[in-house]
Amino acid sequence: MNQSSNKKLIGISGLAAYLPPYRVWLEDWCDWSGNQWQKTREIVGRSFRMRGPNHSVYTMAANAVIRLIDQYDIDPARVKFLGLGTESSTDNSAGAIIIKGMVDEALQARGKAPIARSCEVPEFKHACLGGVYGMKGAIRHLALDGAGGQAIVVCSDIAEYARGSSGEPTQGAGAVAMLLEEDPQLAVVDLVGSGSASDYRIMDFRKPMSRFCGQDRSEAHQVQDFPVFNGKYSTTCYIDETLHALNDMYDKRDLIASDYLRSLRTLFLHRPYRRMPETGWAVSYLFALGQGNSEDRAELASYCYEAGVEVGAVIDEMASKPDVTKLAEPNRLQYEAYPLTMAMLRAFRASRHYRKEILDKLRLGSDTMLDLGNLYTAALPAWMAAGFEQALDENSLSPGEEVLTLGYGSGDAAEVIPFFMADGWRDAAAKIQFAEAMKFAIDLDRQQYEALHDGRRAGNLDYIPSNEFVIDRVGRSDDRHFTDLGIEYYRYIA
């Protein structure tokens, strides 16, 4: 472990989640929309969660943070860093301080001390990577001026897509909070051995502010946040950035790619839907074979043969450095940056190695993730939380074992970060309670789904919030002497 030479080992000691109760089964959605259930199940998942009329990224984040404090018996006075990772914020000035305000009010109502007044409260934004950048910022804080304290990073997002769009079945909502500190109880985070990559992609996945103009919040509290995206181009960007971040890590750690990838047993990647991390990791494995020894090349050649492509041409393609940004034109968005590799991928999926090298390594928590949808910044930590809980049940991770994580944010940037399981990880994992957070759900019918999706109040939803924060009202005053137009007011319901 690269970080073992440092004076301090810093990482994650706990995870806690909040998920809104409203659930849409994708099989039902397929019936409503005329889509194919079998294809949707294989590519996307089983169901997704939706925000309700009184939910926002801020209330969900505060709910996750208060659960983290409770589940891990955190002394709020020791928390000197509270970071928010999100791409669904509705306030362009304040961010994590909103969450601190809610949590402090609830703590004081319980007769407890608030979070430290000296706590830093940054917000991190870079599409789905904001939470990972927040985690890195927290670790750097703990290594320097925040030494001896604790940090909380909460990832909270609402993934919404227009009805009828290709992104509609990949919606989701929720928040995951992480406790970070020195001598972590769950996993050491090795920033020294991590890899980074970034490149501007123009129209991969964007949220220009013009989308918000003229929205009416009179019936519900929601601001609709439908992104501008281009599906196939986004997949190409995800794959390309993953490859570059991995190469950066290989170089830093002097790794032989194929040997290293085979040595791993568990991976957690950014997961906008079921198939994306499978594809990203499979292409990464194929590229590692292309850089490997004669046995690696022979394995690669077998997939080339099945796909009907020349192995030499594939290796040349892998060694090229395509300018993916040049595909960001209306008549080129459907092109592949690595067409021969993608053709070979289909043959690889049919091979016996695919399960061993790809699916088995993505197994922990994967089934649980089929019922979450895309949580944007919270997707990666949610998968980690679900995976660590499953590992606890199966006793399938060992102290000191490396677990590789990959965060990705459209636009584009990627971070490959090794985690090493702590000696006491089982005790820390027992407090995550991710399955408990998912337990309560209200299944929506078509009319209820469409109402909530469109920012209207849905009928016959028998849900009374308990032990959570909600939006109480939204300010409407635009008076000369008092203005609160658009400001959300919150309430904690015990």
pLDDT on residue 182: 98
Q: Does residue 89 belong to any structural domain of this protein?
A: yes
Q: Establish if 203 belongs to a structural domain.
A: no
- Count how many Cα atoms sit within 13 Å of the Cα of residue 131 in the half-sphere of its side chain: 30
79 found inside a domain: yes
- Reduced to 3 states, what is the DSSP secondary structure of residue 463? coil
φ/ψ of 491, rounded to 5, equals -145, 140
Each residue of 83-111: pLDDT tens digit? 999 999 989 899 999 999 999 999 999 99
Question: Distance (Å, rounded) from C-alpha 273 to C-alpha 219?
Answer: 31
Q: Which tokens sit at 317?
A: 């393609």
130-144 average pLDDT score = 98
**Residue 126: predicted pLDDT:** 95
Decide if pLDDT at 276 tops 70: yes
| Interacting residues of 435 by C-beta distance below 8 A, sequence separation 6+ | 368, 386, 389
Distance in angstroms (rounded) separating the CA atoms of residues 438 and 203: 34
SS3 for 180?
strand
pLDDT score for 220: 67
| Buried b or exposed e, range 160-195, using 16+ CB within 10 angstroms | bbeeeeebbbbbbbbbbbbbbbbebbbbbbbbebbb
**Tokens read off for 177:** 């909070």
Task: Please say if the pLDDT value at position 331 is more than 70.
Answer: yes
Confidence of residue 471 (pLDDT cuts 50, 70, 90): very high
Tell me the pLDDT tens digit for each residue of 392-403: 999 999 999 999
Q: Average pLDDT of 431-451? A: 97
Whichever domain contains 114, its CATH number is 3.40.47.10
pLDDT at position 162 over 50: yes
What percent of the chain stands above pLDDT 90? 83
Report residue 212's pLDDT band, with 50, 70 and 90 as the boundaries: low
Confidence of residue 213 (pLDDT cuts 50, 70, 90): low
Is 106 a domain residue? yes
Q: Where is average pLDDT lowest: 75-89, 287-301, 321-335, 449-463?
A: 321-335
Pairing of β 150-159 and β 79-85? parallel
Q: Within a 13 Å sphere around the CA of 422, how many CA atoms are in the beta-carbon half?
A: 23
Q: How many CA atoms lie within 13 A of 330 on its CB side?
A: 0
Q: How far is CA 73 from each of CA 70, 102, 112, 115, 425, rounded to the nearest angstrom?
A: 5, 18, 12, 13, 16
CA distance 281 to 102: 39
At residue 5, the pLDDT reads: 46
Residue 6 has pLDDT above 50, yes or no: no
Whether 458 is covered by a domain: the verdict is yes
Sign of CA dihedral 346, 407, 328, 171: positive
Left, alpha or beta for 73 (phi > 0: left; psi -120 to 50: alpha)?
Answer: left
Give, in order, the Cα–Cα distances in Å from 320 to each of 243, 284, 287, 337, 394: 12, 15, 12, 10, 42
> At residue 248, does pLDDT exceed 60?
yes
- Running DSSP on this structure, what letter comes out for residue 181? E
Task: State the total domains in the chain.
Answer: 1
- Average pLDDT value for residue range 475-490: 91
pLDDT at 1: 55
For residue 83, the enclosing domain spans 2-196+424-493
Residue bearing tokens 């926002």: 56
The per-residue pLDDT of the chain, averaged, comes to 93
Domain annotation covers residue 35:
yes
Residue 54: count of CB within 10 angstroms of its CB: 23
User: Is the Cβ–Cβ distance between 426 and 401 less than 8 Å?
Assistant: no
pLDDT at 333 over 60: yes
Task: Give the per-residue pLDDT at 4.
Answer: 43
Residue 3 has pLDDT above 60, yes or no: no
pLDDT in tens, 47-62: 999 999 899 999 999 9
251-274 exposure pattern, b = at least 16 Cβ within 10 A, e = fewer: eeeebebbebbbeebbbbbbbbbb
Q: What is the pLDDT of residue 207?
A: 78
> What distance lies between CA 127 and its chain's CA centroid?
10
Residue 365 has pLDDT above 70, yes or no: yes
7-64 pLDDT tens trace: 689 999 999 999 999 999 999 999 999 999 999 999 999 999 999 989 999 999 999 9
Instruction: Give the mean model confidence (pLDDT) for residues 127-134.
Output: 97
pLDDT score of 407 more than 70: yes
Dmax (CA) for the chain in angstroms is 76
Dump pLDDT digits (tens) for 67-80: 999 999 999 999 99
